[in-house]
Structure formats: structure tokens, C-alpha cells
Amino acid sequence: MSNLVFVAAAMLITVGLYAAMTRRNLIKIVMAVSVVGSGVNLFLVGTGYRENSIAPIFTNAPSLAMVMPTPQALTLTSIVINLAIVAMMLSFAMKIYQHYGTLDSRERRLKK
């Protein structure tokens, strides 16, 4: 059971990569990147998890069995970065739509 989180993370990453490679709609590609990001974040949090332990906050801690704080710090950073990336990709997609009137990546490839 304890490996379930890694299986889920691997599935999210695979699904995201597959979608990023095969989808034609730019919004769907952005979603795919976001799903890969979630998979990686889940994996990071999963590496630091310990059963029957509490959040790593020292104030009034009932026990000292805590989950690892470092992966959580990494995950927080990575969530913020992913947010920035997704926001930027969406704004590019919006601009592309304004210029070409379509979001299909086949319709307006860079020619030459």
C-alpha cells in the first residue's frame, strides 16, 4: 500500500507526457504540462512521507515523529514555479489565438 503514491505519481507523469506529445490543442498541451508537474510534486511529497507522523511544525508538537520537511519545501517551490510557467503558457496561447484565430497546433505551424 505504501507504494501506491509512487504508482499514482508515475501514472500522472506518464499521462501528462503522453498528452503533451499527442494533443493538438494548445490549451490541452498546457494542461498536460501541468499534470506532469502535479505528478512530480506528488512524487516529491511521497518521498518524505512517514506513516503515523505529524506535520513538521515544532510548536506544541504532540510527538516527534514528523514527516520530512525538505521535500515539502521543495514541493512548495516547485508548485509556485509551475504556476508561473502555466500562467505564461496560457498567456502565449491567448496571444496565438488573437493572431491566428485558432488553437490547433497543426493549423499555424512556423513555416520555413
Partner 1 sequence: MNLLAHAPALAIAIPLLAAFAMPIASRVCKRLPKALSVAALAFTELLVLSLAAQAFSGKTITYALGAVSPDNVAAAGFPVRIILEIDALSALFAIASATIALLAIIYSIKFVKDGSKFFAAALLMVAGMLGMVFTGDIFSLFVFIELLTISSAALIAFYSGRGQPYEAAFKYLVVSSIAALMILLSAGLFYGQYNLLNLAALAGVLKFTFLDKIALVLLTAALAMKCGAIPLHMWVSDAYGEAPASVSAMLVVASQASLYALFRISFILFGKAPLIETIAWALIVFGVLSMFVGVSMAIMQKDIKRLMAYHAVSQTGYMLLGAGVCLAVINNPAALTAFGIKAIEGSLFHVINHTLYKSLLFLTAGAVIYRLGTRNLNEMGGLAKKMPWTAAFFVIGALAIAGLPPFNGFASKFLLYESVFLFSPILSAIAMLVSIMTLASFVKVFYAVFLGNEVKTNVKEVPLIVLAPMALIAIAIILFGLFPEIVLEAIVKPAAGALLNQTAYTGSVL
C-alpha cell recorded at residue 48 = 518524505
**Cβ-Cβ contacts under 8 Å for 108 (sequence gap 6 or more):** 96, 100, 102
Asked if 67 interacts with partner 1 (CB under 8 A), we say: no
How far apart CA 101 and CA 108 sit, in angstroms, is 10
Binding partner 1 (rule: CB under 8 A), the pick from 47, 64, 67, 79 is 47
Residue written as grid cell 504508482: 7
Binding partner 1 (rule: CB under 8 A), the pick from 1, 55, 106, 112 is 112
Binding partner 1 (rule: CB under 8 A), the pick from 8, 19, 67, 89 is 89
How far apart CA 105 and CA 32 sit, in angstroms, is 15
* Binding positions for partner 1, rule: CB under 8 A: 13, 17, 20, 26, 29, 33, 36-37, 40, 43-44, 47, 58, 69-71, 74, 77-78, 81-82, 84-85, 88-89, 92-93, 95-96, 99-100, 108-110, 112
